[in-house]
Structure 1
Amino acid sequence: MKKYLKLLRVKHYLKNVLVFTPLFFNRTLFSHKCMIAFLGFLAFCLISSSVYILNDIQDAPKDRLHPTKRFRPIASGEISVFKAKIIGLTCFALSILLSFYGGRPVSSILLLLYFVLNFLYSAGLKNRPLIDVIILASGFIIRVIYGAVLTNIPISGWLYLTIWTGAFYMGLGKRRNEIQKQGESGATRPVLQFYTYSFLDKNMYVCIALAIAFYALWAVERNNLRFLWSVPIMMIILMKYSLDIEGNSDGDPIEVITHDKVLILLVTVFLAYLGVIIYI
């Protein structure tokens, strides 16, 4: 069972919580729309699993050369390629059905867009500099837009920009740490030969500065001093995240967050504080 959970990348379902973003900030998290969003969350979990399986099938030969990725179920031979394809196709079909049943049919188009982008990523765009990071970042924003379309709830442009720049920061950070760990030869990820450590480092911190600025503008737009107090909390979270990826991390956002108890506590405090001032 463990190998199948590993194949589906259940840990990475944490990213799909972004589907609930429009509800949370629109004070409708506890309304009837929450069930619609939950079905959307499940649909995105399934579509993301199909994407991870597709990527693992494509990358299996190179993953076998990687110090940690060689333990993935397909690369290690624990699960056959044929069986992985069946599981991936099942996840894809169930995802589209759930999305169509749970909300507006147009939301299924966003799921298909997410799948197509990641299919193209696996097919070769992951080897194109900047395009690879753009696709990685777009996955985060598509989740938010999907949640907004599914529940028919608008979301502030400042929050969209915050998530966009934050996603770019994480994507660039992932590539930066891959260079740090693998060297610039790009033995297991060819795109690394097109990047330099200093380029990624500088652009990462441009993105983090923009993310803080955009979030601060959103807080100012609320016209409530209590929202402004959440800005320094967010800054501390991003500084702690930066401290982690400056260490011995491979830069993967989920791995960074789930392996740092202090970071988890800070994110919990941030969300709890926002929850209190938005809902109470």
Structure 2
Amino acid sequence: MDALSKLMRVVRSNQWVKNLIVLGAPIAAGTFTERDTLIRAMISMTLFILASSAVYVFNDLQDRSADQYHPLKSLRPVSSGDVPPQIAGLIGLTCFLASLVGAAFLNLSVMYMLLTYFGVNVAYSIALKHVPYAELCLVASGFTIRAATGGLATDTHISFSYIAVVTLSSLCLISCKRFSECIAYVDHDFRPVLKKYSQRSLFLVISFSIVGSLLTYFIWVVQNQTSNTYSLLSWVMCAVGFLRFSNLAKLGKCENPTLILFTDKLLNISVTCWALTYIGSVYG
């Protein structure tokens, strides 16, 4: 059981929830309940779980020396020494190869998207994580690639407005994370790129991404002809969630966006209500 626990920590199973965005396209199209679409969507999400796990392992190996001095990252299996780098590397390589082989059997387009995802993350980890604003866009692009992969895997049409919603929403979350890190780590030694940001500039990015997300969300709803009471309520819940998240960022509480999404009660309520009203607008 201890070995399994270490394995789950190495591949950061607590971050797998991010891969739910892969299911977004077929759910939005109203085809998710169709047997073939459901199977292909679930397989593509599983492949992305493997792919993201490989990326997490690569990042931990790449940053293990610096992570040893971080108050939170020092607790990770690789940086803490709980898991030898060789074992972690083998786990990461296995996840990497398994995701590509599975994608090749499912859909070549999915395999190309996974390769793009790997390429973006390798570039980020090796060099571009030190380039302000570009690194925000690269991290956000990971969610965009996930969303597009879900559409390609299930032969679901992906509109520009859908991609814009996902990209801008992701940019908001990442910017809120950086804003909180600027507050939490005054010396910025744990993440050097923070020295190149100001809280004002990050808040401008947050504001822009929130406005852009809500505007493109509205356009997307109208384009998909799902304008009804449920869709209007989903838009309101989306706005509440964004405003709450940005407020938590200003308090320095969004260093771990995934954790705060599950622990903040108002965010829990707004996300749950958004999901219910959105599903109601599509399937109601």
1:181 counterpart = 2:184: yes
Deviations 1:241-265, CA, capped at 9 Å, x for gaps: 2232233424332122122233223
Shift of 1:155: 2.4
Please state whether the residue corresponding to 1:152 is helix, strand or coil.
coil
Name which of structure 1's ranges 260-269 and 43-52 shifts more when overlaid on structure 2.
Answer: 260-269
Q: 1:147 aligns with which of 138, 145, 150?
A: 150
Percent of aligned positions that are identical: 27
1:171 counterpart = 2:174: yes
**Residue in 1 aligned with 2:246?**
242
| Unmatched 5+ stretches in structure 1 | none
Q: Tell me if structure 2 keeps the 8 A contact 1:26–1:155.
A: no
Q: Tell me if structure 2 keeps the 8 A contact 1:245–1:256.
A: no
Q: 1:160 aligns with which of 157, 163, 168?
A: 163
Which of structure 1's runs of 4+ aligned residues deviate more than 4 A? none
d(CA) in 2 for partners of 1:137, 1:193: 20
Q: Tell me if structure 2 keeps the 8 A contact 1:25–1:278.
A: yes
Amino acid at match of 2:131: R
d(CA) in 1 for partners of 2:153, 2:189: 41
Change (3 A) 1:223 1:87: closer
Amino acid at match of 2:101: L
In the alignment of these two chains, the number of paired residues is 278
Name which of structure 1's ranges 240-249 and 77-86 shifts more when overlaid on structure 2.
Answer: 240-249
1:17 counterpart = 2:20: yes
Please state whether the residue corresponding to 2:108 is helix, strand or coil.
coil
Q: CA RMSD in A?
A: 1.4
**Residue in 2 aligned with 1:48?**
52
1:91 counterpart = 2:86: no
Please state whether the residue corresponding to 1:199 is helix, strand or coil.
helix
After the TM superposition, which residues 1-280 of structure 1 pair with which residues of structure 2 at under 5 Å, given as runs?
A: 1-31=4-34, 32-101=36-105, 103-183=106-186, 185-221=187-223, 222=225, 224-226=227-229, 227-280=231-284
d(CA) in 1 for partners of 2:11, 2:226: 43
Deviations 1:69-115, CA, capped at 9 Å, x for gaps: 110101110001001000000000111122222x2212101001101
TM-score after normalising by structure 1: 0.95
TM-score after normalising by structure 2: 0.93
Please state whether the residue corresponding to 1:106 is helix, strand or coil.
helix
d(CA) in 1 for partners of 2:256, 2:207: 17
Amino acid at match of 1:240: R
d(CA) in 2 for partners of 1:107, 1:138: 16
Deviations 1:138-179, CA, capped at 9 Å, x for gaps: 001000111111111012322211111111111111111111
Name which of structure 1's ranges 192-201 and 136-145 shifts more when overlaid on structure 2.
Answer: 192-201
Shift of 1:216: 1.5
Amino acid at match of 1:59: D
Amino acid at match of 1:142: I
Amino acid at match of 1:160: I
Amino acid at match of 1:176: F
